[in-house]
Structure 1
Amino acid sequence: MENHKSTNALKAVILVLSILLLGSLFYIYKLSTDTRELQTQVTSTKTEKNTILKDLQDLKATYDAAIAEKTEISDELIEEREKVVGLMAQLEKSKGDAAAMAKYKKQLVELQAKMKNLMQEVEVLKKENTKLTTNLDSTKVVLADAKNYNQVLVGQNEELSKTVEKGSKLTVLNLKTATFKLRSSGKQIETDKASRVDFLRVSFTIAENSIAKSGDKTYYVQIIDSKNNVLGEKTTADFNGQSLTYSFTASVKYENKTLQVIHDLPGKSFEKGTYFVNLYDKTELVSKSSFTLR
């Protein structure tokens, strides 16, 4: 009887131990399964975090390129880029749970949609700017052509003015000087002997010029003897800071036709040697000659 009780007790212990063993095995299996699921979930969440972060980096790069275009919506592009940068900072600090990833993914989709709309607007603005630039370049070409044409006209006008000015200048010809002795009878005898000369006669011709300005004209005659003395009046005139000492002036009324000018310069004790005669139109030397007395 006691043996039978001992056997039943042993069977009960074995049954309890078996149940505990099965329970332990089931717990270990469940724990192992939960651990693998957790590891899988963590790995999946980390991968999703990296994917979202990569998409955000691509968004930022797109905005950087668009902002560099400097369009009319650059301020709005900068504002959206800052949102992307802010979300990237939040994501990097996140522990990466599934709920957070779902929230970040939703925000990413919204930012991508906004970016798509803005990029379409940027493309439209770029096309308009290209068109405006093309029109501006065409306008610049037209203006440049007009400017060049005007410069050509100005150059032609300047050349024409110079030609007219040059052509309108009077030409002086045949500047000559003759020396005379005046007898008591009034007869004039030409001589080249210094001691006998009583006056000099300077003559020159103003050529005909139909485009020259007609009216009163004054020439300044300068006669210099062999000792470098100016004969005659020895008057000095000033022309805009330039001075000229002359022997006499020859004033005529020019009417665009050939005009002979003659002027006498009396004197005493003329020196022997070579004399130089210079004819000036103010300070411009227009003709010169020389003669010699013995």
Structure 2
Amino acid sequence: MENNSNDSKNSGLKAAIVVLALLLLGSAGYIYKLTSDNKEIINGLHTEKSVLADELKAKIAEYDIMISDNTALKEELQAEQLKMVELLGEVEKSKGDAASMAKYKGSYLKLKGEMDNLVAENKLLKAQNVTLTSSLDSTNVVLDDAKRFNDTLLTQNESLTRTVEKAAKLAVLNLKVLAVKERSSGKQVETTKAKKADKLKVSFLIAENQIAKNGSRDYYVQIIDTKGNIIGEKATIPAGNQTLTYSFISTVKYDNKSVQVNEEVAGEDFAPGTYFVNVFDKYFELVSKTSFNLK
């Protein structure tokens, strides 16, 4: 009886040892799988971090090419490129955890969208510049005098002190001028003939900028006729050590969103030829320019 009891105890002990051994093997396998899965996740995040950093570097290089063209959007391009550089620095310093990578990817997609908009605007401005250059090349000696006068004004205003940080500068886009004939009914009809025009409609867009401070903005619009004269109010205001003569002031209420500005200037006896239009901000810095022709 005693031998049977001992055999039973030994069998139970062996069974317990086998169970413990199986549990240990199962635990070891589970821990190994967790470790392998964790390594795959970490490797995947490191790969995502490297790919995102490479994409940021490529976009920064694209900005260098566009900035070197010295376009009218140069300051906006530099501000957006700086955001890309700052994001690249954050990505390279990060540990590459899932939460950080998700945040950085979102920031990158937003900056890429803003870059796509600037690229499209840059192409449009280049096309407009080609058209303007072709128009100016066909002008006569009288218009050359007017152009030299306009260039002098631009040079003077470009030398004025800038007090607004580049990143917070508001962009003035799509400056357009249409000549119209206003009928007795009040209806306005667009025209390209000088003798029919009795009013000029000026429009431009203040672009969205989340960095800029909100509040009222004054823009001085200057319209120069074919003889180099300022049309409209012809008011003069001190601009540093010089003065600025303008056609009218447009006061815009800005709240960090895009604002469409539409103004009108009445006139009479418009002369045929090319007219130049300049827009200055409250610091008397030239922020946009264009030209139009009347037959």
TM-score if structure 2 supplies the norm length?
Answer: 0.46
TM-score if structure 1 supplies the norm length?
Answer: 0.46
Q: Tell me which of the two structures has the higher relative contact order, counting C-alpha pairs closer than 8 angstroms and 6 or more residues apart.
A: 2
Larger Rg: 1
Greater share of helix: 1
